[in-house]
């Protein structure tokens, strides 16, 4: 047990480090200048390329899984099931849309607001589950959603009030909230497609629902594979064909490659971005394995704090104001919104109990709360997206996926 706690502490620190690195590298690469096909220096504002790199990083989880299987007895090794992994193509489409929208939004908003806004995805997930999956929310869950809704209004107001370009920031906020909605659709789809009906033994005509036995790294990796293929075969060709501002295209894939080849700095940060996402995914799984859901909740809530603190440190200490965020009078409003957001999350999960106002039935709470934990990834992880933070349902464990 002591060793498990020590390993868990290492996994927690690694997940926090990689999760913070994911957001900062995602934002920082947008500011790096390089020469593209036009042989004119410009910034690497390539949201679709970042989306592609994110899926590549997710696909690398299959490599980590393959290596881990070498240390498992042959009789206990996972047998790959194409039928169940093929189903992941559907949520991968929603993941692609959500990640691309998140990468676009990151062009217009700062990383602290981005991460905090992503935390409110539970609002969308809960709403969609009530609408389409007949999920029944308790009174305290509804109150938690209300608190979170107020929190995101405060956080958004602080972002808009402190913006130098109101219109640009408003676009970023709108696109980010749309990305959160799309991510919520992804989670609901994962819940549907990660379960299949089978007949209960001895009860003819009776179906029960069981989890498809895919290890977490396989779930993440296969979504990464599908996402990579969709980007290469569908999204990138369409973006190349449609007229736009990037060499006459919406986004020029070949120009992105040229810019990376012409800048060692850009290549370094793109590689760091991929490593950070892969590292965050793997470390998050081991946080769940060695510790418990409480620490998973702490990790998800610590990540926005760590990102905001490091953004301030980058601006005031490490880069002399060239990168990071400033502290303004409106930052106090964002801080208040963040604390209210965390409180709303705790109320929704039943961690903060308001016995004077609500009844907490142990059976109802356990069923609803545990189910929602596994499907939302908000308190259990993008775009950072995290990115964007995303969660995939899997047996006995939850996968928290980093998003730009």
More confident residue, 79 or 359: 359
Strands 195-199 and 397-401: unpaired
Is the pLDDT at 79 greater than 80? The verdict is: no
Name the residue among 156, 31, 178, 107 with its Cα closest to residue 404.
Answer: 107
What would the two tokens of residue 352 be?
């903060």
| More confident position, 219 or 11 | 11
Quote the percentage of the chain above a pLDDT of 70.
82
Check residue 143 and give its pLDDT. 94
- Could you report the per-residue pLDDT of 232-249, keeping only the tens digit for each? 999 999 999 999 999 999
pLDDT digits (tens, 9 = 90+) for 209-230: 444 457 888 888 998 999 999 9
What DSSP designation does 235 have? I
Q: What are phi and psi of 340, to 5 degrees?
A: -65, -35
Tokens of 73: 């007895």
103, pLDDT greater than 60: yes
pLDDT higher than threshold 70 for residue 12: yes
Reported as a pLDDT band with limits 50, 70 and 90, residue 293 is low
Report how far residue 117's alpha carbon sits from residue 311's, in angstroms, rounded to the nearest whole number.
16
Look up residue 298 and give its two tokens. 């702490």
Mean pLDDT estimate for the chain: 83
Name the percent of the chain lying above pLDDT 90.
51
Q: Look at the pTM and tell me if it is higher than 0.75.
A: yes
The whole-number pLDDT of residue 197 equals 47
C-alpha 270/C-alpha 281 separation (Å) is 17
DSSP string, 325-383: ----TTHHHHHHHHHHHHHHHHHHHTSS--TTT----HHHHHHHHHHHHHHH-S-----
Write down the pLDDT at residue 338: 94
Q: What are the C-alpha distances in Å from 361 to residues 143, 350, 355, 357, 364?
A: 16, 10, 11, 13, 5
* pLDDT for position 195: 56
H helices of 89-230, in order, are 89-106, 111-119, 121-132, 139-161, 166-193, 216-230
Question: Is the confidence at residue 176, as pLDDT, over 80?
Answer: yes
Q: Contact, 401 vs 378, CB < 8 A?
A: no
């Amino acid at each position: 047990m002591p060793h498990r706690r020590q390993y868990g502490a290492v996994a927690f620190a690694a997940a926090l480090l990689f999760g913070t690195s994911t957001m900062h590298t995602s934002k920082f690469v947008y500011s790096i200048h390089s020469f593209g096909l036009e042989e004119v220096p410009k910034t690497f504002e390539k949201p679709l390329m970042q989306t592609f790199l994110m899926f590549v990083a997710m696909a690398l989880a299959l490599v980590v899984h393959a290596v881990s299987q070498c240390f498992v007895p042959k009789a206990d090794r996972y047998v790959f099931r194409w039928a169940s992994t093929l189903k992941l193509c559907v949520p991968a489409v929603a993941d692609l849309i959500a990640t691309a929208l998140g990468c676009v939004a990151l062009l217009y908003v700062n990383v602290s607001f981005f991460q905090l806004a992503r935390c409110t995805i539970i609002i969308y997930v809960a709403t969609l589950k009530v609408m389409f999956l007949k999920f029944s929310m308790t009174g305290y869950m509804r109150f938690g959603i209300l608190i979170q809704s107020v929190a995101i209004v405060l956080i958004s107001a602080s972002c808009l009030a402190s913006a130098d370009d109101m219109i640009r920031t408003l676009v970023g906020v709108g696109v980010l909230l749309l990305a959160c909605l799309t991510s919520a659709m992804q989670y609901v789809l994962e819940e549907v497609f990660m379960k299949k009906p089978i007949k209960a033994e001895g009860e003819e005509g009776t179906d029960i629902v069981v989890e498809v036995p895919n290890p977490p790294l396989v779930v993440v990796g296969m979504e990464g594979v599908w996402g990579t293929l969709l980007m290469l075969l569908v999204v990138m060709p369409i973006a190349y064909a449609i007229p736009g501002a990037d060499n006459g295209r919406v986004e020029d894939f070949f120009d992105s490659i040229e810019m990376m080849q012409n800048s060692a700095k850009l290549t370094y940060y793109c590689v760091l971005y991929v490593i950070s996402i892969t590292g965050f995914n793997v470390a998050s799984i081991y946080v769940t394995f060695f510790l418990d859901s409480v620490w998973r909740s702490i990790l998800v809530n610590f990540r926005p704090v760590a990102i905001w603190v490091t953004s301030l440190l980058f601006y005031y200490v490490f880069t002399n104001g060239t990168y990071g965020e400033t502290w303004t009078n409106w930052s106090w409003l964002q801080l208040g919104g963040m604390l209210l957001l965390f409180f709303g999350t705790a109320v929704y999960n039943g961690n903060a109990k308001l016995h004077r106002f609500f009844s907490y039935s142990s059976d109802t709470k356990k069923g609803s709360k545990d189910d929602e934990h596994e499907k939302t990834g908000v308190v259990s992880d993008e775009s950072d997206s995290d990115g964007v933070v995303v969660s995939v349902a899997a047996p006995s464990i939850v996968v928290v996926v980093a998003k730009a």
